[in-house]
Amino acid sequence: MASKLKRLVRAFFGHYATWLGVYFLVAAIGTFVCIARECNNFLIFRAAYAHLAGQRILYLPYPREHADLFKYSPTFALLFAPFSRAPFAVALFAWNLLNVMLIHRALTLVMPPAQRLEAIQLAGIGLVTTVDGTQSNGLVAALVVLAFAALERDRIARAAAAIFAGALIKLFPLSACAFALPRRDRARFAVACAAVGVALIALPLLVTDVPTLAAQYRAWWAMGTADATDRGASIMRLMHLAAGYDGPNWPIQLGGAGLLILPVLLRPARWADGDFRRTFLASVLVFSVIFNHKAEQASFIIAVTGMAIWYATSPRAPVRSVLTGAVFISTVPIFMAVAAPGLVTSSVDAPLLAASACCAAAWFTMQGELLDLFPERDARAESEFMSIGDEPVM
C-alpha cells in the first residue's frame, strides 16, 4: 500500500499538468493576498498610465493615490494601460498570471526534454517563496530567458525586443546582450537592438508629446542616479558588511560584468555546447540579482529561475546540489519575514543577505564551470537545442 501511494505521489508530481497547476495556484494566491492588502505597488503601476496620458510627471509623489514613487520607464507606464483600466482584482490576477506563466513558457522553450520538467519543478518551488504578487520580476526573468530562446532560433528582432522590454522595467536585463557575443551575426543583433530600443523608448509618444516625454526620461534618469548609491541585498552590501567597502557600486558591478562575459571571450568554441550556453543563461540571471544595487525580496525569483536552469542542466555533483539547496532554503525565511512579520525574524534584511550570499557562491561556481576550472564538469559538446522544436518564442 505504501509503495503504491509513493508511486502515485511520484506520478502526480512528475506530470507537467501538476506543475502548470502549481504556477497557476501561485498566481491566484498572490492575487488573493494582494487584494486583501490592496498592495501599494500595483496601485502605483495602475496610476502610472493615467499620469503619462495626462501629461503629468510620473516620478513625483501622488500621496492621494498611493505611497512611494513610480520607478519604471514611461514605456512601462504605457504598456500597463490594459491593467490600469480593468477592475482591480481582474487586472491583478492577469498581471500575476503573466509574470508566473511566462516563466513556465520560457523554461519550456529553452530546456531540452530531458531537463525541462526538473527546471519547471525547481522554478515552481522557488516561485512559492519569492513571488510578490505585485512586482515585475517574474516578467523580467522570463524576458531574459525568452531573449535567449529567440537567439537560439535566430530570431534576432524578437531577442532584441525581449531584452529592451526587460531593460525598460529594470536595467539589468541589458546583460542578456552578452548572449550575442559569440555569434557571427552580432553586428546584425546590435542594429536590431538599436532600432528596437529607439522604438520602445519613443512608444509613449502615442499618448504624450515630445517635450513632456523628454521631461519624463530626465526625471527617470535623475531618480536612477539617486538610487545608484543604494546597495540592496547585493554583493556590494556583503562587501560593505564583511570588508567595510564604502566605495561606489559601479566598479564592483563593472568587475562583475567583466567576469560574467569572460568565459565567452576566452572560450568561444564552447558556445557550440548547449549545456554551456544554458549555464551561461543561468549565470546571467543570477548576476542580474547579486550585482543589482536595488535587489530585494521579489528580485530573487530571477536568481531562482537561473538556479533551476543551472541545476537541471548540470551533471550531478555534491557541491552543486548543496549550493542549489542552500539558495532555495535561504528564500524560505525571506518569505516568512514578508508573509508573517515577527514570526521568524523581525526584519527581512538578514534573510535577504543570507540568500544573496548563497546566490553569490553559486554564481562564482557557475563561472568556474564555464571557465573549465572544475574537472568534474561533463563538457559534452553537442548542439541538440534545435531539436526542441520551432515553437514561437512570443
Per-residue pLDDT, 272: 93
Q: How far is CA 37 from CA 62, 69, 127, 209, 316, in A?
A: 19, 18, 20, 36, 42
Cβ pair 313, 280 in contact under 8 A: no
For the record, the C-alpha cell of 329 comes out as 532554503
Q: Which phi and psi angles does 290 have, rounded to 5°? A: -70, -20
Q: Which residues contact 69 (CB under 8 A, 6 or more apart)?
A: 44, 59, 60, 61, 223
Given this model, what pLDDT does residue 346 score?
Answer: 66
- Predicted local confidence at residue 139, as pLDDT: 94
List, in order, residues 6 or more apart from 197 with CB less than 8 Å away: 160, 164, 167
Mean pLDDT (10-residue bins), the chain, 394 residues: 71 81 89 79 93 96 90 95 92 92 96 93 85 80 97 96 94 93 94 96 96 96 87 93 92 96 93 94 96 89 95 87 92 75 71 93 96 64 40 38
Calculate ∠ Cα 349-350-351, nearest 5°: 95
pLDDT of residue 335: 76
- CB of 45 closer than 8 Å to CB of 84: yes
Start-to-end CA span in the chain (Å): 45
Burial degree of 53 (CB within 10 A; 0-12, 13-18, 19+):
middle
Q: Which amino acid belongs to residue 364?
A: F
Please give the radius of gyration of the chain, using alpha carbons only, rounded to the nearest integer: 21
The C-alpha atoms of residue 44 and residue 89 are separated, in whole angstroms, by 15
| Domain-wise residue ranges, the chain | 17-227, 229-383
Task: Say whether 344 sits in a helix, a strand or coil.
Answer: coil
